Amino acid sequence: MTARAPQNPVAVLGAGSWGTALAIQFARGGRAVRLWGRDGARLAAMAQARRNERYLPSTAFPDALEIQPDLHGAVAGCRDVLLVVPSPAFRGVLTTLAPHLTPEMHVAWATKGFELASGLLPHQVAREVLGAERRIAVLSGPTFAREVGAGLPTAMTIASPDGAYAEALAAELSSANFRAYTSTDIMGVEIGGAVKNALAVGAGLSDGLGFGANTRVALITRGLKEMTRLGVALGAHAFTFMGLAGLGDLVLTCTDDQSRNRRFGLRLAAGATPEAALAEIGQSVEGYAAARAIRAVAARTGVEMPICDAVYRVLYEQMPARDAVRELMSRPLKAEVA
């Protein structure tokens, strides 16, 4: 059996593409890693092949990465537990995890998006489930799993109300080709990660309909304004949205076809129904539910978000995308900073 690093393991819960990529990156950074997922058969295949054949077939697992099919076995003795699950599953996994946590364990996540039923962000859900005393953090920013798995140069943000915890996690995740920056604005970082998904669906729709680069850059720029406006209304710092977890993640997911949200919009523009487009992509498309959640949060806070609202109407009210763009372009003229 291959030797594992014996101390200070990290448990990564969620063995999809991004969970696998982060598990690989932690192992490269020197941590012993236990990777857990719900699908026992897939985990067994990953343990046998020493790679994730479905999502990251070209990246072999480092020796320090262990597949662990038992949740308690995955987290026992860990200081850090990292959840990498879609936002609809976040509360459920946290609730299942909670009895297995000891007081000294820290919980981080790479989940993005508002909870649909409550409009809460992941850190607010975590506080409800785990209490106010536990150290928490979110990992976010402009990253694609395949490129992280391949070891290509990447930067991201780790945000926590506890700056020392963010710095410790960043140091342990960073390596020669991976740099983690830190923030204490967990609200702003999470809002950036949530809103960019819906905007990326809009970018895919726009490009799929042939509206061109001018329209795309206008959507990104004005979308950033909407993101910032909502964030400030909810207590985030405006400057957070000019960083990796705001502008960086928005540009990446709106412009590269590795983005599932962008591909979803492209498929809709080609005539697919939302259900058919989701089935074709075959992985979680966070922007679909995000558009609905953002609309509710914006209405509750009184924040105007016309682009996100147009995406919602295309997805849920069968509004033709061309009509949505026409409506956006006919809005009353105003100062750019408004």
* Short-list 134, 261, 126, CA closest to 207: 261
Q: In the 3-class helix/strand/coil scheme, how is 257-320 assigned residue by residue?
A: CCCHHHHHHHHHHCCCCHHHHHHHHCCCCHHHHHHHHHHHHHHHHCCCCHHHHHHHHHHHCCCC
Pairing of strands 136-140, 154-159: antiparallel
Angle in degrees, 0-180, between the axes of helices 286-301 and 306-316, rounded to the nearest 10:
130
Of 112, 196, 225, 334, the active-site residue reads 196
CA 92/CA 113 separation, integer angstroms: 15
CA 17/CA 144 separation, integer angstroms: 9
8 A C-beta contact, residue 241 and residue 309: no
Active site residue 196: yes
Cite the active site residues. Answer: 196
